[in-house]
Structure 1
Amino acid sequence: MVVNKITQVLGEPYFQTDNCFIYHLECSSAMAKLPDEFINLTVTSPPYNIGKDYEKNLPIDEYLSWCNIWLSEIYRITLNTGAFWLNLGYLSIPNRAKAIPIPYLIWDKIPFYLIQEIVWNYGAGVAGKKFFSPRNEKFLWYVKNSDNYTFNLDEVRDPNVKYPNQKKNGKLKVNPKGKNPTDVWQFPKVIAKNRAAKERTPHPAQFPIAVISRIIQACSNPNEIVFDPFLGSGTTAVVPLSLKRQFIGFEIRADYCEIAANRIENLLREKQVDAEQLSLF
């Protein structure tokens, strides 16, 4: 089965272009229809169960049980050489925790092998009065096979090297493409109030393109399938398509499906304009 035959399994999508399928579906039941070992890379951020307008609040035990369902499905549909990047924030537990990291609560429900925790330092946010001001989110990088997974370091090297021309025994000490980025990534948030920002959409929790781009380039290859079961604003669709990957996404809210579809159409128009301009020379 290849991505261009996905409609045989899931029916007609909400939105479709070459190498891209967006479905207005609840992800757990939709994933259950996909075959085993089908996806190369999943990048997603599910609801945090904190009362946002795009989620339904559940008792914590029910929320964790629900997480177990979709986590198991992602594992099943991931190729043996595939990867899973998970962004999960914090929730409160009455009389126990103001803000406990959700991965602490589901560590034993994730069948993947954890490679690394990445800290995304976004630089601006709420100001705390009785606690330190939050300025980061976490990404957990999982793989299915700890001995065989994709890591394209040269695609994501940081060119900001302090001494790029330093040599030892006549040879450059630093890779000419740059250094290995650290596990703390400094990218600004897409601020909803900044209406002038090109990336900005009405979605209240939108990923920056720069963050998702680094993940996609590092952990997948051209023509491979990237998946997001909680699509939201569509950044995880736009980036793979711009990097010549295939994409499948599920989103339970139709208005967010529409946001993602509009962003993809804008990307394709921009690529068409660029191609037409290049053809003039």
Structure 2
Amino acid sequence: MSGISETDALRVYWQSSEDMSVVDSESVQTIITSPPYWDLKDYGHEDQIGTADESYEHYHNRMKAVWEECYNVLKQNGTMWIVVDTIMERGDLQLLPYHIAQRAEEVGFVLQDLITWYKPTAIAGMTDRNIVSKKEYIIYLSKNRNHTFYEENSMNGKEDPAVSDDHRLGNLWRFPVKRGTTGDNFLHKAPYPQALTDRIVRISTEPGDTVLDPFLGSGTTALSALERDRQCVGFELNQEFETVISDRLNSLQQKYLTEF
């Protein structure tokens, strides 16, 4: 564990989330993460999940071990939210979100929905011959059918189709991806916007609850949790992210001092 922050609200373990025995069983209210994709991005660690020398099936076997650990640490009324997109495998489309959902269901999770995250500012395509992908998916799972969900806290943003007057929260979320929002020293190759994790924290937790990210990366999940008076536990193999996370948390602490 690292003393990455002066606050006791954050614990970061620089190890694989395939073993999360350091976290108490049924102590986490919600899990928010974006896992490594298979054979797509190199995050610079020899033990990382999803490298090119792994088969697609072996990738899912390792990921299933993570989902088993997540299931164990999650409270009975807890939820898990996984941000992921489809991928190309040797020119063929792989429905990665559906395959992850299947493995999570095998562990015991209940699949509540597949939310579409609309990214209007996305510009990159999967390959030169594909159309530009303007979306990712958020796999919404719960440990049990009866689970914590505070729909009234969803707080729709401008032009967000998920919420309109007198209607329930929908499963099409609009969150543009902005460049340069985490500083120049930015290592993570697949960030999600904090507005997205802000919404998930609000609708799935209360102040004082614990949020876990098994692939912490640049710390967006932690920032959303800490800004809203939640606890956070993170697992990350690549300790080079420590500087990025520390810088972001320092900005948060300076904001608190200014407001005080």
Into which bin does the TM-score normalised by the smaller protein fall? 0.7 to 0.9
1:48 lines up with 2:37 in the alignment: yes
Identity %: 25
2:148 corresponding residue in structure 1: 150
Contact 2:97 2:137 in 1 (8 A): no
Change (3 A) 1:209 1:199: farther
TM-score norm. by structure 1 comes to 0.79
Q: CA deviation at 1:34?
A: 2.5
Change (3 A) 1:59 1:14: farther
1:135 corresponding residue in structure 2: 134
1:272 lines up with 2:257 in the alignment: yes
Letter in 1 for 2:228: L
Counterpart secondary structure, 1:85: strand
Letter in 2 for 1:72: E
Letter in 1 for 2:142: V
Contact 1:158 1:180 in 2 (8 A): no
Q: CA deviation at 1:129?
A: 5.5
Contact 1:190 1:207 in 2 (8 A): no
Indicate the structure whose relative CO is greater, using CA pairs within 8 Å and at least 6 residues apart.
Answer: 2
Describe the superposition over 1:7-29 as per-residue Cα deviations: whole angstroms up to 9, x where unpaired: xxxxx424242311122112112
Counterpart secondary structure, 1:15: coil
1:105 corresponding residue in structure 2: 99
Describe the superposition over 1:228-255 as per-residue Cα deviations: whole angstroms up to 9, x where unpaired: 0100110000011001101111111111
For 1:158 and 1:237, the matched residues in 2 are separated by 21
Change (3 A) 1:158 1:87: closer
1:37 lines up with 2:37 in the alignment: no
Q: 1:182 aligns with which of 170, 175, 182?
A: 170
Q: 2:243 aligns with which of 253, 258, 265?
A: 258
Contact 2:119 2:134 in 1 (8 A): yes
For 1:246 and 1:156, the matched residues in 2 are separated by 20
Unaligned runs of 5+ in 1: 1-11, 162-173, 276-281
Change (3 A) 1:198 1:14: closer
For 2:157 and 2:84, the matched residues in 1 are separated by 29
2:4 corresponding residue in structure 1: 15
For 1:92 and 1:159, the matched residues in 2 are separated by 32
Describe the superposition over 1:8-55 as per-residue Cα deviations: whole angstroms up to 9, x where unpaired: xxxx424242311122112112x0333321111000111102231214
Which is greater in Rg?
1
For 1:15 and 1:199, the matched residues in 2 are separated by 18
Letter in 2 for 1:21: R
2:17 corresponding residue in structure 1: 27
TM-score norm. by structure 2 comes to 0.85
1:214 corresponding residue in structure 2: 199
1:233 lines up with 2:229 in the alignment: no
For 1:81 and 1:215, the matched residues in 2 are separated by 15
